[in-house]
């Protein structure tokens, strides 16, 4: 066994000469001495280098995405989000299509009569839809009429409000009320972050800018000599001379300016150059 092992190691370590000759002159051009063990080592080293380079290329380049089952987690996430967006868009398109079909039918007069009864029809029923009042309701109505009998301003507490509907500028809670004695010519409204600030009336933007004390400010001019001011905004969505309608988003509520005490909107309403209490015109 020892002799066999020695013979094996001697055989694989025996060097062979590998030469290249010039055919015309029979002159040796290049030669190398190799053994079976050396050839085996070189082949293994070459295979290792080839596998390493191939693996690095696959891992560090987008080629890996073409391998089955090797999609990146982010790519799968993007595919799922895009699929959900496509479903949502398809649903919205269907709703919009139904809306346009109904609108077209109404404008063209092709909508069928379903619940309207003709006066000359034989099926006309002269039904009495008067619902009798309960005792509690009758007592409440009577008490209300007695309380408001001599209140001349109950139907119109502010004559300036006639035929004008003021839109609430922000869905929030009042944190500070109007007080002209301390030069607080408006009210403060708190809300959740990123809420839209909306125009209280139709009007035109006459000022947008940043004030060190009041942050991002936007001012709207309305008809009937009304002026509305919105302060401490985070982002302004309109520019000077833009026309806006009541309820249109004009800014994002924020916490800008040195006088800001937190996330809120300072809203002022002016009439003929005089500040008025917004709570007299808007139901907050």
Question: Would you list the domain boundaries of the chain?
Answer: 2-60, 166-280
- State the pLDDT confidence band at 178, using cuts at 50, 70 and 90: very high
Question: Quick check: 16 and 34 in contact, CB under 8 A?
Answer: yes
177 Cα distance to chain centroid? 31
DSSP string, 121-190: STT------PPPPPHHHHHHHHHHHHHTTT-TTSS-S-GGGTT--PPPS-SSEEEE--BGGGTB-SEEEE
pLDDT one-digit tens code per residue, 63-80: 766 666 665 666 777 777
CA distance 81 to 29: 66
pLDDT one-digit tens code per residue, 193-243: 889 999 999 999 999 999 999 999 999 999 888 999 999 999 999 999 999
Per-residue pLDDT at 266 exceeds 90: yes
pLDDT at position 137, please? 84
Maximum alpha-carbon separation in the chain? 135
Mean pLDDT in residue range 111-128: 50
Superfamily of domain 166-280: Glucose Permease (Domain IIA) (2.70.70.10)
Per-residue pLDDT at 159 exceeds 50: no
């Amino acid at each position: 066994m020892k002799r066999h092992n020695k013979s094996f190691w001697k055989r694989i370590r025996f060097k062979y000469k590998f030469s290249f000759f010039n055919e015309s002159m029979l002159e040796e051009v290049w030669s190398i001495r190799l053994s079976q063990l050396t050839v085996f080592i070189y082949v293994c080293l070459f295979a290792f280098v080839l596998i390493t380079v191939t693996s690095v290329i696959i891992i560090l380049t987008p080629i890996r995405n073409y391998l089955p089952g090797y999609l990146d987690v982010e790519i799968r996430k993007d595919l799922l989000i895009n699929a959900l967006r496509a479903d949502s868009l398809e649903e919205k398109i269907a709703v919009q299509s139904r809306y346009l079909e109904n609108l077209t039918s109404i404008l063209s007069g092709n909508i069928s009569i379903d619940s309207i009864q003709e006066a000359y029809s034989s099926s006309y029923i002269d039904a009495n839809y008067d619902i009798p009042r309960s005792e509690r309701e009758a007592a409440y109505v009577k008490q209300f009429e007695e309380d408001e009998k001599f209140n001349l301003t109950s139907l119109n507490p502010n004559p300036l409000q006639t035929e004008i509907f003021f839109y609430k500028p922000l869905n929030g809670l009042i944190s500070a009320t109007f007080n002209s004695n301390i030069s607080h010519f408006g009210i403060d409204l708190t809300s959740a972050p990123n809420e839209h600030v909306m125009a209280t009336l139709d009007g035109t933007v006459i000022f947008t800018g940043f004030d060190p004390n009041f942050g991002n400010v936007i001012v709207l001019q309305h008809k009937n000599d009304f002026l509305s001011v919105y302060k401490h905004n985070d982002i302004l969505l309109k520019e000077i001379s833009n026309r806006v309608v009541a309820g249109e988003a004009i800014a994002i509520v924020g916490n800008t300016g040195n006088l800001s005490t937190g996330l809120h909107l300072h809203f002022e309403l002016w009439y003929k150059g005089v500040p008025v209490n917004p709570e007299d015109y808007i139901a907050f």
